Chains A and B, each alone.
Chain A
Amino acid sequence: MKNLKSLLALLFAIALLAAACGSDDDAASDDASADDAAEASDDSSDDDAASDDEADEGDDDAMADDEGEADVDLSQGGDLTFHMITHSEDGPFWSVVKKGMDAACEDVDVSCVWMPGNNDPTQMVTDIQTAIGEGSSGIAASLPSPDQLIPELQKAVAEGIPVYTLNSGANDYGTIGATTHVGQSEDVAGEGAGLRFNDLGATKVLCGRQEQSNVGLEERCNGLKATFDGEVVDEFVGLDADQTEQINGVKAILEADPDIDGFLGVGPVIAMSGLQAATDLGRDLHIGGFDMTPELLDAIEAGDIAFTVDQQQYLQGYLPIILMYLEVTNQNQAGGGLPILTGPGFVTPDNAAAVKELSAAGTR
């Protein structure tokens, strides 16, 4: 109840804010916000607990926000603020996503807020609430733990904020009411890897995981199972934090099963561990990896590793901003209800050198 009231107060604030700004492209958001505000107040009128105090508070908030935004208006015309809420742990992967986001925001001249959640769903819930509270013009969120995040994002949709999911969330964007999903579906990426192993002529592939109970990693292995013609052994072999143990874990399985002639590491570090294990044992394996590090690209260029699956995460940062911008300013809705896939792209010995340069620039 209390939440609803403070939301209502915030809605007034947003509506006022939107009304206060006079540029053309605001008409759309103004309408949307107004509609939503009307809806929301319909809801709340059923509840007879709305007190005067609350209403006063709402007014105060609105005024405070108004004053705050005035500064921004003076400095720049770009009055749209998009929020990107991810479960980023600041790895090499997410830094590229962030670069994509920064580039898009610069290209269309809007302000963007990067909210990395550090794999903590509670943090992400707070971030989403903050974004709604700040009157976001659009929210792009990744969905590592759908159950906690879906209700929050539904609230955003209910308030007329354009919502997009990125990276993970391909199965849930419909439930939320998000316009579309931008990302790679993990099983499709795994399926691509399976086809690669078929081409390479492998007969039995070990799908090595560096984490347990990570849905995305399991889906990669499941995708591999779906398209690969031979047999797949799917195992957790040790954490990235202790690579010695990881290498020897792969070695133990390779030793226990002499038929294995392929290795898919579902991350860049574990792919290198697989290469090291094969070298130690003197086994000739077809090795594939996921994502990229300089070492992995070097190994691909040298021909030691056959390929890596690249989900082109730059697009996952770039596209949602552009799509949100177009939805807000031009009422475009891309995707047609289907997700927009950013991958899988493959890095093989053929294109490794070119990708390496782009990767050094931080956009691959």
Chain B
Amino acid sequence: MSDVSTVDASEQEARQSPSAVADGDERLAYRGVFTRLLVRPEIGATIAAMAIWVFFWAVSVPFGLASGAASVLDVASTLGIMAVAVSMLMIGGEFDLSSGAATGALGMITLLLVRDFTGEMGGAGFSLWIALPISFAFAIGLGWFNGTMVNRTSLPSFIVTLASFFILKGAKLGFSKLLVDQIQVGKMDDLALNADTRGGDKGYAFFQRLFAGEWVRNEHVWSGRDLLYTVATLAGICLIVLAVYEFRFARRQQMNAGGVIPFILGLAGLVAGQLYLHNTDDTTGNWIGSAIIAFSILLTGFGLALWRYEPLADRGSFNLDPSWLKWFGAGVAALVLSVIAARALDADNSDNIYLLFTEQGIRAILFISLAAAGAVMLLMAANIAGRSSQLMRSALLFDAAVATALMAFFIRSQSASPKFRSEVFSVMLVIAAVMVTWAAVTYIFRERREPDAQADAFAQRVLLVGMLSVIVGVGTRLLFTVQNEIDNGISRTVFSVRTLWFILFAAVCTWVLGRTPFGSWVFAVGGNKDAARQIGVPAGRTKTQLFMLVSVAAWLVGTLLAFRLNTIQASTGDGEEFEYIIAAVVGGTALTGGYGSTLGAAIGAVIMAMSFQGIPASRWNSDWRFVFLGVILLVAVIANNFIRSKAEASR
């Protein structure tokens, strides 16, 4: 059975009977919010995705722009739809090697059905209203075939679907050459071009909008964008902070109204600081804006806690325990080394920073990895010390915050890149401010160590709203432009409806997997098919349905490609099945079945798309592309595993 569902079950039980903790049953012991979050399979992928985005944002100019995001989402969409479906199949314990070839094959079937073979796109082809359902039926049939063959023969799905792969690959080539005398089938948009002579476009206009609709950012100028972006993002972050507080701290019996005033003042300061920062370009302005924001974060966080939560009674005492002292020492040493490395290596040649194998590149890698390692070690020291004394935890957190701030100033004084001098600098200051706030707040207020169903439910809702608010804010910024950007000549940026399909498909699959009996069956048959069958799960049927899900996803992707590219090559999709599996594994799905996450697979697809896009966007030599790709994927998977094993060990 899955980890996810056992977690949910134990949580539910804990909510129903809080007294169970008192009985000393360790399975029902209350676990902190971070532990609960980190055992989810998609968290490692999320962290890796953020790290990779920041990395490519730092080394490349176009990657961080809206057009870069559009490209990443474009590549991620078709890859992600398949990765989500494939991850469900993998959780169910099977593979589908025909999924890649199936995308091309099903798209090609649609094209062959709407085309007329006797003349050049004459009038005899089917309407799309008929062709699409027929190719959909083909998809269902393909999934049924794969599933039934696997069930009946009891052969590994690896072998059965490998056969399907070869059959599809051959059929694509054979039929396209037989019927069209080409190794590709086109062209979808001929339906629109010759609509008059044929009496109607066979539904092309409708389906074109449905599957290949585009949103051209440059045509959507909206002056209110930055205001909404700022307000929605900040409000979202505040709500997320509130949710974390609710998860973490014990509520007061009576709210303390005295906390409301600093809270409101802090919020106002945040908005003011952000707007000020946005409207200024000189370094002093950046300085002042950052300072205002840093102070406001402190004020807001403190005010909120003062308002709602109970103070801590026993704060522990000062100690110099060697268990944390060694981490502290190592962390400081790493930070010092990083500064020495940055100073020792040449900093003059600034335009070479995009190339990895230059002194600049090595300097950047050395500095960043040493500094990051140092920061992590300081945080570990704080964590270890915090087990015995809250005083020491806060003190060490404060140290880490000071180190972060110092590093920010160091980067600002050393880096030639304006990106590092302004954005990285400000973000690091914000992080330092958050750490100081966290140090102060955890010092003053009591951490909740008992379950509180009401607070948890409230926090979950607030967290969801907060995340939605951030998404709305970022989405607004991505989808709309302002006159100023147009005047500066930004390149045309196109978002596609494919991304909506991707989000919709991932959301539906996540819901099915997490909230329906079918989802539980998937985990059950992937964990142990025979055991699942004995407790009454229709194992064979579940697996067949999973194969059908994958082929339906392939139909969707094939249709999206047919409308996107107008033409389907005989080779379209061949070999892609491994990318789907890789994306699922990067997203935390186990190759052995029974464990994984559709959300993780979606994020895994985004990670792969970012790697595909980031490498050319950074203008790294494409000869090394697969070396970079391999390293990035390895790091993502290792990070994912590491985080999960740490989290599971700390249960």
Taking Cβ atoms with an 8 Å cutoff, the residues of A that contact B are: 90-92, 95, 212, 235-245, 247-249, 251-253, 255-257, 269, 272, 276, 280-283, 293-295, 298, 362
Contacts and interface: CB of A to CB of B under 8 A. Distances in A.
B533 interface: no
B572 A241 contact: yes
Contact of A244 (B177, B564, B617): B564
Given A241-B572, A241-B573, 5 more contacts: A242-B579, A244-B564, A249-B616, A280-B492, A295-B186
B379 to A, nearest CB: 35
Contacts of B625: 212, 236
A251 B612 CA distance: 12
A245 B569 contact: no
B209 interface: no
A220 to B, nearest CB: 15
Interface in B31-71: 60-63, 65, 67-68, 71
Interface string B68-81: 10011011001000
A244 B569 contact: no
11 contacts: A235-B616, A238-B612, A239-B575, A243-B565, A243-B572, A244-B564, A248-B71, A256-B62, A295-B566, A298-B187, A362-B181
B2 interface: no
Contact of B571 (A212, A235, A241, A253): A241
A293 B616 CA distance: 27
B78 A244 contact: yes
Interface in B272-312: none
Contact of B182 (A237, A294, A298): A294
B183 interface: yes
A90 B173 contact: yes
B177 A293 contact: no
B622 A236 contact: yes
Given A256-B618, A295-B187, A248 B567 contact: no
A237 B612 CA distance: 9
Contacts of A280: 492, 494
Q: State the 9 A-B residue pairs at the shortest beta-carbon distance, nearest first.
A: A282-B492, A255-B62, A252-B616, A252-B617, A236-B622, A248-B71, A235-B622, A241-B571, A253-B616
Interface string B181-223: 1111011000000000000000000000000000000100000
Contact of A257 (B572, B573, B619): B619
Contacts of B621: 235
Interface in B615-631: 616-619, 621-623, 625-626
Interface string B158-184: 000000000000000100010001111
Contacts of A276: 565
Among B60, B187, B491, B622, max chain A CB count under 10 A is at B622
A354 B462 CA distance: 66
B11 interface: no
A282 B218 CA distance: 10
Contact of B616 (A237, A295, A362): A237
B613 interface: yes
B67 A281 contact: yes
B561 A248 contact: no
Contact of B569 (A95, A240, A248, A251): A240
Contact of A295 (B564, B567, B619): B567
A256 B615 CA distance: 11
B186 A248 contact: no
Given A280-B494, A281-B491, A236 B623 contact: yes
Given A235-B616, A241-B571, A241-B575, A293 B184 contact: yes
A248 B75 contact: yes
A247 B565 CA distance: 10
Given A242-B576, A251-B71, A255-B67, A91 B183 contact: yes
B119 to A, nearest CB: 11
Nearest to A92: B183
A95 B617 contact: no
B492 A281 contact: yes
Contacts of A252: 62-63, 68, 71, 613, 616-617
Given A92-B182, A244-B564, A248-B612, A256 B61 contact: yes
A248 B576 contact: no
A238 B79 CA distance: 14
B82 to A, nearest CB: 11
Interface in B525-577: 561, 564-567, 569, 571-576
Contacts of A282: 218, 491-492
B491 A244 contact: no
Contact of A90 (B62, B63, B183, B564): B183
B213 to A, nearest CB: 14
Contacts of A95: 177, 181, 183
Interface in B573-626: 573-576, 579, 612-613, 616-619, 621-623, 625-626
Nearest to A242: B576
B354 to A, nearest CB: 9
Contacts of B561: 243-244
B168 to A, nearest CB: 13
Contact of A256 (B173, B181, B492, B617): B617
A284 B223 CA distance: 28
Contacts of A283: 491-492
B177 A90 contact: yes
A246 to B, nearest CB: 10
Nearest to A209: B622
Among A95, A240, A249, A253, max chain B CB count under 10 A is at A249
A341 to B, nearest CB: 26
Contacts of A91: 183
Contacts of A247: 74
A347 B173 CA distance: 26
Contacts of A212: 622-623, 625-626
Given A236-B625, A293-B184, A295-B186, A241 B617 contact: no
A281 to B, nearest CB: 5
Contacts of A244: 74-75, 78, 561, 564-565
A16 B577 CA distance: 54
Contact of A248 (B74, B181, B566): B74
B78 A269 contact: no
A90 B571 CA distance: 11
A293 B61 CA distance: 35
B182 to A, nearest CB: 6
Given A90-B183, A256-B619, A269-B569, A245 B494 contact: no
B216 to A, nearest CB: 9
Contact of A241 (B61, B74, B569): B569
Contacts of A240: 569, 571
B157 to A, nearest CB: 22
A251 B566 CA distance: 19
A285 to B, nearest CB: 12
Contact of A255 (B177, B183, B617): B617
Contacts of B619: 253, 256-257
Contacts of B68: 252, 255
A282 B60 CA distance: 21
A1 B215 CA distance: 70
A242 B10 CA distance: 44
Contacts of B616: 235, 237, 249, 252-253, 256
Among B61, B177, B569, max chain A CB count under 10 A is at B569
A249 B612 contact: yes
Contact of A245 (B62, B184, B612): B612
B613 A248 contact: yes
B615 to A, nearest CB: 8
A235 B567 CA distance: 24
Contacts of A253: 616-617, 619
B10 to A, nearest CB: 42
Contacts of A243: 561, 565, 569, 572
Contacts of A298: 187
Nearest to A359: B182
A294 B186 contact: yes
